[in-house]
Amino acid sequence: MKNMKIIFSICTLLVFVFSIYLYKHLTDPVQVRIEKSNKFTEGEIKSAIINLKRKFNFKGCELTDIWYTEKQSKILTEAYLKNGGGSENGIKEENVIVLLSNFNVNSSGGDGSFEPNSTQSNWSWTMNRDSKKEKWRIVSSGY
Protein backbone atom coordinates (compact mmCIF):
# COMPACT_ATOMS: atom_id res chain seq x y z
CA MET A 1 0.00 0.00 0.00
CA LYS A 2 2.84 2.37 0.86
CA ASN A 3 4.51 1.68 -2.50
CA MET A 4 1.28 2.54 -4.32
CA LYS A 5 1.16 5.94 -2.59
CA ILE A 6 4.77 6.64 -3.57
CA ILE A 7 4.16 5.62 -7.18
CA PHE A 8 0.98 7.73 -7.31
CA SER A 9 2.85 10.74 -5.86
CA ILE A 10 5.68 10.39 -8.36
CA CYS A 11 3.26 10.05 -11.28
CA THR A 12 1.31 13.11 -10.11
CA LEU A 13 4.53 15.12 -9.82
CA LEU A 14 5.66 14.05 -13.30
CA VAL A 15 2.31 15.04 -14.83
CA PHE A 16 2.51 18.42 -13.08
CA VAL A 17 6.08 19.13 -14.24
CA PHE A 18 5.30 18.00 -17.81
CA SER A 19 2.19 20.23 -17.86
CA ILE A 20 4.21 23.29 -16.85
CA TYR A 21 6.87 22.48 -19.46
CA LEU A 22 4.25 21.97 -22.18
CA TYR A 23 2.34 25.13 -21.23
CA LYS A 24 5.51 27.22 -21.33
CA HIS A 25 6.50 25.96 -24.77
CA LEU A 26 3.02 26.21 -26.28
CA THR A 27 2.43 29.74 -25.02
CA ASP A 28 5.76 31.28 -26.06
CA PRO A 29 4.72 33.80 -28.73
CA VAL A 30 8.27 34.27 -30.03
CA GLN A 31 9.09 32.35 -33.21
CA VAL A 32 12.73 31.22 -33.28
CA ARG A 33 14.72 30.23 -36.37
CA ILE A 34 18.31 29.02 -36.29
CA GLU A 35 20.28 28.35 -39.44
CA LYS A 36 23.18 25.91 -39.40
CA SER A 37 26.37 27.52 -38.20
CA ASN A 38 30.03 26.70 -38.64
CA LYS A 39 30.96 29.27 -35.99
CA PHE A 40 28.66 28.39 -33.08
CA THR A 41 27.02 25.25 -31.75
CA GLU A 42 23.24 25.16 -31.62
CA GLY A 43 23.54 25.33 -27.83
CA GLU A 44 25.58 28.54 -27.99
CA ILE A 45 23.01 30.14 -30.29
CA LYS A 46 20.09 28.99 -28.13
CA SER A 47 21.84 30.41 -25.06
CA ALA A 48 22.13 33.81 -26.80
CA ILE A 49 18.44 33.64 -27.78
CA ILE A 50 17.38 32.81 -24.22
CA ASN A 51 19.36 35.75 -22.87
CA LEU A 52 17.88 38.07 -25.48
CA LYS A 53 14.34 36.98 -24.54
CA ARG A 54 15.11 37.59 -20.87
CA LYS A 55 16.63 41.02 -21.47
CA PHE A 56 14.13 42.32 -24.05
CA ASN A 57 12.52 45.20 -22.19
CA PHE A 58 11.32 47.74 -24.71
CA LYS A 59 8.30 49.32 -23.05
CA GLY A 60 5.08 48.74 -24.99
CA CYS A 61 6.74 46.28 -27.38
CA GLU A 62 6.31 42.56 -27.90
CA LEU A 63 9.04 40.39 -29.37
CA THR A 64 7.62 38.21 -32.16
CA ASP A 65 10.59 36.66 -34.01
CA ILE A 66 14.25 35.96 -33.33
CA TRP A 67 16.60 34.39 -35.82
CA TYR A 68 20.24 33.63 -36.45
CA THR A 69 21.80 33.48 -39.89
CA GLU A 70 25.53 33.00 -40.23
CA LYS A 71 25.84 35.33 -43.22
CA GLN A 72 24.10 38.33 -41.64
CA SER A 73 25.73 37.72 -38.27
CA LYS A 74 29.18 37.64 -39.88
CA ILE A 75 28.66 40.97 -41.68
CA LEU A 76 27.37 42.71 -38.57
CA THR A 77 30.03 41.13 -36.35
CA GLU A 78 32.78 42.40 -38.65
CA ALA A 79 31.32 45.93 -38.48
CA TYR A 80 31.14 45.72 -34.69
CA LEU A 81 34.73 44.51 -34.42
CA LYS A 82 36.03 47.12 -36.87
CA ASN A 83 33.98 50.20 -35.98
CA GLY A 84 31.92 49.45 -32.89
CA GLY A 85 32.59 48.57 -29.29
CA GLY A 86 34.58 45.52 -30.34
CA SER A 87 37.32 47.74 -31.73
CA GLU A 88 37.71 49.32 -28.30
CA ASN A 89 37.61 46.28 -26.04
CA GLY A 90 39.62 43.77 -28.09
CA ILE A 91 36.93 41.09 -27.98
CA LYS A 92 37.58 38.00 -30.10
CA GLU A 93 35.29 37.25 -33.05
CA GLU A 94 34.39 33.86 -31.55
CA ASN A 95 32.80 35.71 -28.64
CA VAL A 96 30.50 37.94 -30.69
CA ILE A 97 27.12 36.89 -32.10
CA VAL A 98 24.45 38.96 -33.80
CA LEU A 99 20.80 37.93 -33.68
CA LEU A 100 17.99 39.55 -35.62
CA SER A 101 14.42 40.11 -34.53
CA ASN A 102 11.04 41.57 -35.25
CA PHE A 103 8.83 43.13 -32.61
CA ASN A 104 5.44 44.80 -32.48
CA VAL A 105 4.97 48.27 -31.03
CA ASN A 106 1.73 49.14 -29.24
CA SER A 107 -0.47 52.19 -29.74
CA SER A 108 1.66 54.31 -27.39
CA GLY A 109 4.70 53.92 -29.63
CA GLY A 110 6.50 51.91 -27.00
CA ASP A 111 8.53 54.43 -25.03
CA GLY A 112 7.61 57.08 -27.60
CA SER A 113 10.57 56.46 -29.88
CA PHE A 114 8.75 54.07 -32.24
CA GLU A 115 5.84 54.62 -34.58
CA PRO A 116 2.63 53.55 -32.80
CA ASN A 117 1.02 50.29 -33.98
CA SER A 118 4.04 49.35 -36.07
CA THR A 119 6.39 46.42 -36.49
CA GLN A 120 10.12 46.88 -36.22
CA SER A 121 11.80 44.45 -38.59
CA ASN A 122 15.36 43.15 -38.84
CA TRP A 123 16.36 44.71 -35.52
CA SER A 124 19.88 43.51 -34.73
CA TRP A 125 21.20 42.52 -31.32
CA THR A 126 24.96 42.37 -30.95
CA MET A 127 25.93 40.18 -28.04
CA ASN A 128 29.27 39.21 -26.64
CA ARG A 129 30.82 37.13 -23.89
CA ASP A 130 34.25 37.05 -22.30
CA SER A 131 34.81 33.38 -23.13
CA LYS A 132 32.92 30.29 -24.29
CA LYS A 133 32.14 29.50 -20.64
CA GLU A 134 30.49 32.89 -19.98
CA LYS A 135 26.91 34.01 -20.70
CA TRP A 136 25.99 36.20 -23.65
CA ARG A 137 25.16 39.85 -22.92
CA ILE A 138 23.64 42.47 -25.18
CA VAL A 139 26.13 45.20 -26.05
CA SER A 140 24.18 47.07 -28.75
CA SER A 141 20.98 46.93 -30.75
CA GLY A 142 19.35 48.70 -33.67
CA TYR A 143 19.10 48.57 -37.42
Radius of gyration of the chain (CA): 20
Q: What is the pLDDT along the chain (143 residues), one digit of tens a residue?
A: 677 777 766 766 666 555 554 444 446 789 999 999 999 999 999 999 999 999 999 999 999 999 999 999 999 999 999 987 777 788 899 999 999 999 999 998 888 889 999 999 999 999 999 999 999 999 999 97
Residue 136: exposed, middle, or buried by beta-carbon count in 10 A (0-12, 13-18, 19+)?
A: buried
pLDDT of residue 68: 98
The set of residues, in sequence order, having a beta carbon less than 8 Å from that of 52 and lying 6+ positions away, is: 66, 99, 101, 125, 127, 136, 138
Q: What is the pLDDT of residue 32?
A: 97
CB atoms within 10 A of CB 96: 24
pLDDT score at 107: 93
pTM of the model: 0.78
- The C-alpha atoms of residue 96 and residue 85 are separated, in whole angstroms, by 11
